[in-house]
Structure formats: C-alpha cells, structure tokens
Structure 1
Amino acid sequence: MNGLLWAAAGTGFTFSMTTLGAAVVFFMRKEGQSEKVQKAFLGFAAGVMIAASVWSLLIPAINEAEALGRIGWIPAAGGFALGVLFLMGLDKAMPYFLPEPEREEGVRRGLKRSGMLIFAITLHNIPEGMAVGLAFALAAHNDSSVLLASAIALAIGMGIQNFPEGAAIALPLRQSGMSRAKAFGLGTLSGIVEPVFGLLTVLAAGAIQPLLPWLLAFAAGAMLYVVVEELIPEAHLGEGHMGTVGVMLGFLLMMILDVALG
C-alpha cells in the first residue's frame, strides 16, 4: 500500500509539471501570429522530442533490458521499429477521421500535425509514468530507503523534464490558432496518463517490468516519426532559420535536463 501512495505522489508531481509547462501558453503576448514565431515553436517541440527520445526513452530501454539480463539493443531496436510502423499507419488513417469539410489540404495538414504531436507526447508519457511507478513498487517491495530515495529522485527528474514537454504541445497549438484554454487543456491531458499508468504498474509490477524496454523504445520510435514527418518539415517551410534555432534550443534544453537530472 505504501508503494501505491508513494507512486501516486510521484506521478502526481510529474503530471503537475506537465500542467505548469502547458500553462506557459497563458503568458504569451497577444499574437501577431508571426510565421517566424510559429516555426520557432514547432522547432522547439521537435528538439525537445528528439532529445527525450534518446535520453528519456532509448537509453533507459537499453539499460532496463540489460538489467533484466537481455541484449540491450534488441528491445530498443524492435520497440523503436514497431513505434515507427504504428505511427506510419496512424498517419495514413488520420485524414479519414477528420470531418469532410475539414479535409482541405491546409486545414487537414494542421489538424493532422496537432493530433500526431499530442498523441506522440502522450504515448511517451505512458512508459515514463510506468518507470516511476515501478521504481516506487520495487522500493516498497524491498522496504529499502535507498531505493525509495532513488525513486523520488527519478520522479523529480521526470517532472522537471515534463515542463518543456507540456510547453512543446501547448505553444504550437496556440500558434496554429487554437484558444489558450484549449491548448492548455490538451497540453495538460497529455500528462494525465503518467499517474494512471504509474499506479497500474504498481498493481501489476511483476507482469509489467519485462515489457518496459519495449514500451520505452516504442514511444521513442513514435516520437521521432512525428518529428521527421511533421514538425521539422513544417518548421522549415519558406526561408529563414527560426525553425532550426528552435530545434537546437529545444534539444539543448531537454538534453541538459535529461543528463543533469537522470
């Protein structure tokens, strides 16, 4: 029971940090919706997702697999490929879920990009929440203060990393014309899966742990597909380097957070 309570507190913190990141949308100046600013925000989201895919997902997937006595690159590569294939299929299917009047090319592209961005970061939050829940489950099972301290540190690190991820959803959505409240709400909802799956993992820790490397890598593949297929091309339409600057800043920020707090 202690493990469940600690996991609820830990994943609740990570969720609250996603919410705080999404709240940045309320502090944006009243737009002149500059195309350069939109490219910068799309690039920022892409940079955050690239760094998160490597340091938050693929490297932990390899380490987790090796800790279970497996060859680290197999679940990392296999899960990654499955994530790419899954998003590729979703990409093909998504236009058919849009209402008929909204299938004009410009609107369709914007809606598809927004939907895939939300889906990818939400998907990435699922194994992160599971990792936090599993850390607290192991600490409670072994009644270890050392493991508990490690689980708390993991939750704090994940939470701080979630701040730019919440912003990475809300800011591009706002720049694409969505209201502040709706952009904030969707950014916040992307993080609610962390406490949900964190608690489920505590309740089913024995069954979940062997699958975690595959789930982490699956989320990485899905995120990178969205980055390459949607975000970077949109960030670099036309002239200028704002999209590139956004990618570099997002990557740099997320890399520093992942390495410093990991």
Structure 2
Amino acid sequence: MTAANLSASGRQPPRLMLSSPILTMNGIRKNFGDVQALRGVDVTVYPGEVLGIVGESGSGKSTLLRMMNLEDRPDNGEYRLALPGREDLNLFTLDRFERRMLRARHIGIVYQNPHLGLRMNHTSSGNVAERLLIAGERNFAVLRARAKGALDASEFPVARMDARPAELSGGMQQRVQLAKAIALEPALLLLDEPTTGLDVSVQALVLDTLKRLQRERRITIVIVSHDLGVIRTMADRVMVMRNGEAVEEGLADQIFQDPQHEYTQQLVHAKL
C-alpha cells in the first residue's frame, strides 16, 4: 500500500509524518508467579497518533497499559517518554514519588471502572481539581476555572460540576474521568476499555467526544479494548496481543482489511 493510497483513505501513517516517537517501550516482561503476562513486548507511539491495543482477556493488554501509566514495574524492560530533559531516562528507574509526579503532570488515564479513577463522593469539579493540586496549583479560583474548562471540553454539563460522581450515570462518570485526565494537557492519554458497560448510544457519544478532543488537540492516545469496533473507530495504528506477546502490528486499515496473523484473522472475521 502506497503513501498516496493511505492519504486517500484518510489515514496517514505516523512514521511518514513524524520522525521521533513520543513513547518507546523495549523488551517489557512481567511474570505473575508462573504466569508470563508480558513476554518481551516492544511499543512505539508517535505524537498525535492513536494506537489501539486489542486482544482477548488475559492477552496482557491491560498489564501493558498499567506499565505505561507507571502503576507497575516490569521484571525487565525500558520505558521512555519524549519529555524535555528526560528523553534518555528509563522511567522504570524512578522512585515511587517521582513516578507519581510524572504521571500527574504528563500522563492521563480513563479507567474502565470509574471507581479506580474518581473519588465517588467528592464533587466532579473537585476530582478534576485534585489532579491540578498534585501538580502544584493552589489558587482556588484557578483550580475551579481550569476544572470547569476541562469538564466543558469533555462535554460534561458544567451546571452539574458540583455533583458527586456517585450521583451520575456511567457515561457522565467517564466524562469526569476524561476531564481529570486532560486537565493538564498530558503528553499521553491512556484509555482502558473506556466504553465497556455503557449503552450503545452512550458509547457512541463518548467515542465522538474522544475523537473530537484528539482531532482538536492532537492528543497522543493509547486505547486498550477487546471491542474491535471501538478500536476501528479510534485507532490510526493497531497492535494485536495474545498470550503476552504482540503478534501483529500495522495501520488500522491494513489490520482490518488484510490481517496477516492467523489469530488476527480470527478476531477480524469473528467481528465481521
């Protein structure tokens, strides 16, 4: 497939546009007892692209996302983000406090389960402001204004910004998580099954919001999902995982139209 073909299809391969990756992971291995969760996985993500990671339950995709969010360390492997002054730093060597601060400033995440990302009995605006507080903001007026702006960008009704997430629908809870994740304009946005459990109509609205934000802000996104429809809607490039390994990787159009690996073929044909 030529660059001209790809341009005509509406998907530009990031490597033709951008020479330097924003995220690089090499040789990521992780065992849980006798279970090999990750078996030497390599990942490269370019600025402004959306990488979709797909696979069945137990494939290692969520474990890999936790590594990207610095929630866990691998048994082996390196992780680098193209952050000023830290380009050559293996982020897994940072201590717990350093990882927490880097995550607060540069990495946003939306969890499948909102309880993991939100304080359910705090206000929605307070949840967003908490991220700003961790990063050092102390002015109340600034906190509230920036929280309001992030909620509005996530298409959350700002008239309800003082409502608690416990009072909200699943779709609205995901929007609060998204607002919290983008409040500091992170270098990397991670999405862990962001539409699972939502009604189909609500899923479509959440995906529309994500696509708009990505288009307007050129946010770099890694999205993990078992739902190929979600991945096809969002991703520029796709990585297929099975049993802790990346078995195939390529442009989304290529993966869905001409899958090469037998397992990828099974996934795509089952969806069709």
So what's the TM-score if we normalise by structure 2?
0.31
So what's the TM-score if we normalise by structure 1?
0.31
Structure with greater strand share of residues = 2
Structure with greater helix share of residues = 1
